[in-house]
Structure 1
Amino acid sequence: MPTEQTEPATTAGALVTGYRLILPDDWAQIPLRHGTEEAVRSILDEAFRRIPPGSPEDKVGPYKRELERRFRAAVRRVQEGNALDLYLPVKSADNVNLGASIVVSETLLPRRHEQTAHVEPTDVAVQLLVNDGADNIDLSSGELDGALAVRREHVADADLDRGADLGSRRVEYIVSVPDDPDRWFTAAFSTVGGGDPRDELADALVEWFDAVMATLRWRRG
């Protein structure tokens, strides 16, 4: 079913007020500006309901506390990046953990009033993507719902300090928001695959994310 950004991510007078992405029902949306606690609580309650009835309380209690601690910590880390939404595959009926996530955010570039030369959105996007110095980046460009989109893919090493125990395959779409060249929409996908970010599961999930991004549609006020 369509998942729609309801937080108006816009400046006064802008026509684009949000976005829509079509995701499977087993992916849950966690809005990070408003309604975060309600979404987190609903996801945790659903996870706790999957615990088999009659399980010993001395095992269930610590498990639930640790699950909640880890989950809330992960959400907080994303919130600290000032993102709009976090999507996680948390409703799988067969309890398969895909080890994947999608983080949606928005970037507003500083306005340079003294600059007279026109800067193409493509030039700005490429500069943003390559400035971090990461190696082995796959970079391409195209359009999504009529807007310039730059796709960036790479493999990131494990980072224990940030809670990443395994390396991950990462794909980012940075999209120029229509009618405002200083605004950029970013959807960042990450997966550990089956334990190796270059394995067949990771490949399949990257293809799936590309298909999800093809459903991007702007929400206009």
Structure 2
Amino acid sequence: MEAEQKAAAAQGSPPARGYRLLLPSQWAQIPLRRGTDEAVERILQEAYARLPAEAPADKIGPYKRELARRFRKAVAGAQERNGLDLYLPVKPVGDEEFNLGASILVTETVLPTRDPRASRAPSTDIAVQLLAGEDTENFDLSSGEVDGALAVRREHVAAAVPERGAAAASRRVEYIIAVPGDPDRWFVAAFSTVGGGDPRDELADVLVEWFDAVMATFRWRY
């Protein structure tokens, strides 16, 4: 009820126009609407610059091409999902030079134009409906607030779908958040990881906790 009252109070306020997240320096933001090519090229060049200068050219060339292929494929897949921003860990962590085993995809959902005379369904019901429709196993659904806005959190394990580019099963956590001041817009932050090879392993558990901590830093921009 309190969340609904806050959402109602926000209706008279200017709608949020953006957001910010605090992420470690190993993670890079790739905008998916404008400036995508420039961001991709910058990140790749930074990765190439970290390669050993003494490495043989016949090894470096194929490595660079494979790195670029994997990275561009991840970005293209996010664009196909109509994403706003993609976040990837692109700097070394231990012995891993360029890890694409986890990602955060930010998207926006806009509800169809509604009849102003019709009664509106509760925001929690709308959020659950927006999250429904996928075949999942072991999913967990909860609701709360993120920076004062109604939010629904869903966690599940998604099966591998090789024909769609998902070669392995993944652990996914989604936050779907009502945009303050605009009841027809919903912000979605979706985290995905393969863990250490098993989406239910200890590494996956740690990364899910980490993403929840990241979402605690979420703030709207007006």
Task: Normalising by structure 2, report the TM-score.
Answer: 0.89
Q: Are 2:38 and 1:38 aligned?
A: yes
Find the counterpart in structure 1 of residue 219 from structure 2.
217
Per the TM alignment, residue 133 of structure 1 is displaced from its structure 2 partner at its CA by: 4.1
Find the counterpart in structure 2 of residue 194 from structure 1.
196
CA 1:37–1:98: 2 relative to 1, 3 Å? closer
CA 1:85–1:180: 2 relative to 1, 3 Å? same
Find the counterpart in structure 1 of residue 126 from structure 2.
124
Which runs of 5 or more structure 1 residues have no equivalent in the other structure? 1-12
Retained in 2: the 8 A contact 1:157–1:166? yes
Find the counterpart in structure 1 of residue 179 from structure 2.
177
Stretch deviating more after TM superposition (170-179 or 121-130): 121-130
Per the TM alignment, residue 154 of structure 1 is displaced from its structure 2 partner at its CA by: 0.3
CA deviation string 1:7-30 (max 9, x = no partner): xxxxxx953110011111111000
**Whole-Å separation in 2 of the counterparts to 1:145 and 1:83:** 21
Find the counterpart in structure 1 of residue 5 from structure 2.
none
CA 1:133–1:156: 2 relative to 1, 3 Å? closer
Secondary structure of the structure 2 residue equivalent to 1:88: strand
**Whole-Å separation in 2 of the counterparts to 1:189 and 1:112:** 30
CA 1:98–1:63: 2 relative to 1, 3 Å? closer
Retained in 1: the 8 A contact 2:137–2:158? no
Find the counterpart in structure 1 of residue 6 from structure 2.
none
Count of equivalent residues = 208
Per the TM alignment, residue 62 of structure 1 is displaced from its structure 2 partner at its CA by: 1.4
Secondary structure of the structure 1 residue equivalent to 2:207: helix
**Whole-Å separation in 1 of the counterparts to 2:108 and 2:120:** 22
The one-letter code matched in structure 2 to 1:151 is: R
Per the TM alignment, residue 39 of structure 1 is displaced from its structure 2 partner at its CA by: 0.9
Taking the TM superposition and a 5 Å limit, the aligned residue runs for 1:1-221 are 14-92=14-92, 94-96=94-96, 97=99, 99-113=101-115, 115-220=117-222
Q: Name which structure has the greater RCO, CA cutoff 8 Å, separation 6+.
A: 2
Stretch deviating more after TM superposition (112-121 or 80-89): 112-121
* Seq. identity, %: 67
Retained in 1: the 8 A contact 2:26–2:92? yes
Which runs of 5 or more structure 2 residues have no equivalent in the other structure? 1-12
CA deviation string 1:16-59 (max 9, x = no partner): 11001111111100001111111101111111112111111111
**Whole-Å separation in 2 of the counterparts to 1:86 and 1:170:** 15
Structure 1: 4+ residue segments shifted above 6 A:
none
**Whole-Å separation in 1 of the counterparts to 2:221 and 2:125:** 25
